[in-house]
Amino acid sequence: MELADAKAAGTIGFMGRALVQATLPYREPSADLRAWGRRAGNVSLVIQPGMYFDENNEAQSIGFPYGSYPRLLLAWIATEAFRTKSRQLVLGNRLTDFLESLGYTSQNGGPRGNITRIREQMKRLFAAHIAIVYGGGQGSDFAHKPFLIADDTELWWDPQRPDQAGLWQSTVTLSERFYDEVVSTPVPIDLRALRALRQSPMALDLYCWLTYRMFSLKAPVTVPWEALKLQFGSEAGRDRKFKEGISKQLQQVLSVYPAGVRPTKAGLELSPSKTSVPRLVTDW
């Protein structure tokens, strides 16, 4: 997928750099967890779920964002913020139209349908408290950057009537810190690749991470399995199972982005390659 093709197709997109370096959960974390996290090198991602009070006046967790949907949402958000240079993003007045913008041309309802699940993941993502932590522990270097994805969220869609236009446009107003992150340090991606890989959140992460790494890679390097497991596999169990999972998802990624990468006994060997969307600053 070359830049000229992506530009002509209108599929140049972006992801925030911090959420490429440290990624969201793949499966739903336990409801008992106060916080969920992942570490990549010196960078940690820490997520705390939003809360609400139920009809019995008891505090309840909204839940952690997880899986493919919040990743696709984050790509849409970063792309729209970069394109419009505005913190307030219009999601539209039809849920089906918004799902199509994420690549879901076939929509279905019910508890496990994508209509229900995307709305639930939007609530979780926009309500979550997120922090990027550099350093920590006993070391001398430390930086803590907490943020919300959104300062204000208004979802007026009726999931029972997703084709019906609401009386008002659904909108999200990004927090200033998150907006600055996605606009000042975006990672260019091809949205067609995300749509092709959307059934696997790990494949989505690998794709974004590979094109990010290739931007500055000048010589071959091997990323150890131990480091990869911290970044991509905190829920993966045994080392052998994790390596098999990474290798399988990598084949999907290479079908849409033929980067110079191969599994070895020591880890993933990266060789300098073109980024998925070559960087031409004058075109952005």
Q: Could you report the per-residue pLDDT of 103-130, keeping only the tens digit for each? A: 887 777 776 778 889 989 999 999 999 9
Sequence-separated (6 or more) residues with CB below 8 Å from residue 72: 102, 103, 194, 198, 204
Q: Could you report the per-residue pLDDT of 130-161, keeping only the tens digit for each? A: 998 888 766 678 888 899 999 999 988 766 66
- C-alpha to C-alpha distance for 133 and 107, rounded to whole angstroms: 38
- C-alpha to C-alpha distance for 7 and 283, rounded to whole angstroms: 9
Q: Could you report the per-residue pLDDT of 74-92, keeping only the tens digit for each? A: 999 999 999 999 999 999 8
Q: What is the mean pLDDT of residues 236-250?
A: 85
